[in-house]
Amino acid sequence: MWTFSVLVLPLLVQLQLNETLVKLEEERPFRTLLILKHSQNRENFETIPLKSGHPVLRISEQDKYPLTFIYNNEMVALIYINRNMVRNIELWLALDKSLHNMRHVRLMFIIQEQKQLEFIAQMAEEMKFLHVVAILGKTIYRLKPFCVQNRWQLVRDGFIYTKVNDYQGNLLLTLPDQFPPRSLVYYDKERRHLQATGYVTKLIEEFVRRYNITMRWERSIQPGRQLSLILLRNMTLNQTICLPLSLCGYEAPSEMGVFSYPYDFSKWFIMVPCAQEIPTAEVYIVICSLKLLAVLIGCYFIFALLDSCFGWLLLGKKFNWSSNLWFNERLIAGMIGQSFKLNAHNMLSSRVTHALLFLLGLVISTLYAAHLKTLLTKRPSQREIATFQDLRDRHDVSIYFDEAERFYLNMFDGARPMDTIRSRINYRQTKEFLALRNRLNRSRAFSTSAGEWLITAKRQELLEKPFHCSHTGLIIGNFILLSVPMQANSIYERPLNRLIHRVHTTGLLGHWKQQTLRKMTELGEISLKDPFHYKKFHEFKVADLAWVGLCLMTGLMLGIITFVIEILFARRS
């Protein structure tokens, strides 16, 4: 990874500058020197001999452009402070603009008077520069950040810059989103005050403990009151809080703020109701499929044609289309496996045909009855919602998204599979969205991430039947980078990134997620009890025989109509 050093350099021949640059290279390598001078400064910077061999950038107070978008952000800065305070302010403003979102850089000031140290300390604290040294002649002073007294320390031996590992209780304002498992606030009865947990909360708590930072909530917190991640993101970027106990989508650094290394790599998908058993009444529809009806009708016409041919060829009967082919009672009885009378004067071939017909009907009726009993005992499941098209066509299932997610959905470029359901999405505020998702309604689908899905999966571990499922065809994004937003020029960016890297290396993220789930179970936020009551035995009801009753009523109506027609024809004859 390329490193970039910034040295803002005045004319100081009497100081062994090259020796200082060698020490800086030993402490942390740099690649480029940035020389900053005031345009009205008479010193000739171009004649300064530099033996380090690094490329040099020379700017003045008029050149204010952010270097972080041009070079890498590993920097060291050397700055000349003259006796004219007005010019010094202009240089500070140029430095602030050029080193935007790069407050981890090393600054080296060349001063002419010792009384300028207080001014430098004041401006460095105001502009959030932590790594600062000042050179007066051959004497080097190191600024101790966050110290009220004795801010400057004389550098004798060892490193010129030291790592800032102690923030001296510096205040960090934050707010939790209370969106488990990221963060969750609860009342601890033993300690008698509010506590927070969650895998993002664990990270920030470890961060403030490691670097001696004081964490405080920006306002009073009510347990269970969720805050939108977009709200917390905007509160961070507008300098209201330092960073939130929440995660948002990773974004490039900007003038508004910076974002940490990705803390969580998550999938973003839609969890849908799992397929349930079909009602008992619909079992008859499954049994009376088109294939079965086609087989029965085909067999009926084949045997009806054979029976008509036997009667015409062997017995000399007239070929009657109505009684022999279209409506043959004996064949209908045979097809459903019922016994029927075989006439003694019929030919042997006719008796064999009817016997085979009876055997076929017996087999079919037996298989049909066995299949029907099996399906009534254990009913088949409905069709799974496995794709966005399936979800779009299921009008009995409502689709809910968090209002904050609209921001990220609108950021997608190009056509995506989930565009098929955009018109059906219902956006809700964070609190209402979580309340709806916790009600376990089988007629609703919700957007979720892999981290949030852990809670749903935990709740369904001991359930007889799961109520929500996930499918690969319902993934909105496979690799969503989630990071912690911070203010612009945040002094916490570098140490927090180092901690996130160590958390991933040691596997603490997975441990904190499981620890959060156990704590939520202990608090009753995750109930392992099955909210649905399943009956082991289901008695038949009138609704279960709806299709059977419809068939009987249809047959009864046809019988009545036929009876009326026969009476009318009898009277006419």
336-352 pLDDT, tens digit per residue, is 666 555 554 455 665 66
CATH topology for the 165-258+487-522 domain: D-Maltodextrin-Binding Protein; domain 2 (3.40.190)
Q: Is the pLDDT of residue 364 over 70?
A: no
Q: Identical fold at 165-258+487-522 and 264-276+382-483?
A: yes
Of the candidates 406, 553, 416, the one whose C-alpha atom is nearest the C-alpha of residue 478 is 416
Query: Pick the residue with more confidence: 69 or 125?
Result: 125
Which option is the CATH number for 264-276+382-483: 3.40.190, 3.30.300, 3.90.320, 2.40.10?
3.40.190
> Per mean pLDDT, which of 159-168, 216-225, 362-371 is the most reliable?
216-225
Query: Pick the residue with more confidence: 12 or 156?
Result: 156
Report pLDDT for 334.
64
Q: Is the pLDDT of residue 522 over 80?
A: yes
- Let me know how long the chain is: 573
Report pLDDT for 343.
56
CATH topology for the 7-155 domain: Rossmann fold (3.40.50)
Band (pLDDT 50/70/90 cuts) for residue 19 is confident
Dihedral sign for Cα 369, 370, 374, 379, please. negative
Q: Report the share of the chain in percent with pLDDT over 70.
A: 75
Q: Please tell me the distance from the alpha carbon of residue 105 to that of residue 130, in angstroms, as a whole number.
A: 8
Report pLDDT for 170.
93
Residue with tokens 């300690």: 191
Query: Pick the residue with more confidence: 220 or 322?
Result: 220
Residue 515: left (phi > 0), alpha (psi -120 to 50), or beta?
alpha
Q: Is the pLDDT of residue 20 over 50?
A: yes
Tokens standing for 255? 């003038």
In angstroms, what CA-CA distances link 18 with 15, 294, 400?
A: 9, 96, 64
Band (pLDDT 50/70/90 cuts) for residue 11 is very low
φ, ψ of residue 132 in degrees (nearest 5): -135, 135
Report pLDDT for 340.
58
Q: Please tell me the distance from the alpha carbon of residue 528 to that of residue 567, in angstroms, as a whole number.
A: 68
Q: Please tell me the distance from the alpha carbon of residue 2 to that of residue 25, in angstroms, as a whole number.
A: 14
Q: In the chain, what are the domain boundaries? A: 7-155, 165-258+487-522, 264-276+382-483, 280-377
Report pLDDT for 444.
93
Calculate mean pLDDT across residues 371-381: 73
Report pLDDT for 232.
94
Report pLDDT for 1.
37
Of the candidates 295, 307, 290, the one whose C-alpha atom is nearest the C-alpha of residue 361 is 295
Query: Pick the residue with more confidence: 67 or 173?
Result: 173
- State pLDDT tens for residues 159-202: 888 888 899 999 999 999 999 899 999 998 887 889 999 999 99
Q: Are strands 398-402 and 425-428 parallel, antiparallel or unpaired?
A: parallel
Residue with tokens 């892999």: 450
Q: Please tell me the distance from the alpha carbon of residue 422 to that of residue 8, in angstroms, as a whole number.
A: 53
φ, ψ of residue 346 in degrees (nearest 5): -65, 155
Q: Is the pLDDT of residue 563 over 70?
A: no
Query: Pick the residue with more confidence: 528 or 43?
Result: 528
Lowest mean pLDDT among 144-148, 214-218, 399-403: 144-148
Q: Please tell me the distance from the alpha carbon of residue 495 to that of residue 6, in angstroms, as a whole number.
A: 20
Query: Pick the residue with more confidence: 426 or 458?
Result: 426
Those residues with Cβ within 8 angstroms of residue 210's Cβ, 6 or more apart along the chain or in another chain? 165, 495, 499
Report pLDDT for 3.
44
Q: H/E element holding 86?
A: helix 85-98
Residue with tokens 């966050």: 146
Report pLDDT for 319.
62
**DSSP letter string over 467-534?**
SEE--GGGEEEEEEEEE-EEETT-TTHHHHHHHHHHHHHHTHHHHHHHHHHHHHHHHTSS--S--S--
Band (pLDDT 50/70/90 cuts) for residue 316 is low
Q: Is the pLDDT of residue 408 over 60?
A: yes
- Burial class for 119, CB neighbours closer than 10 Å (0-12, 13-18, 19+): middle
Task: Tell me the average pLDDT of the chain.
Answer: 80
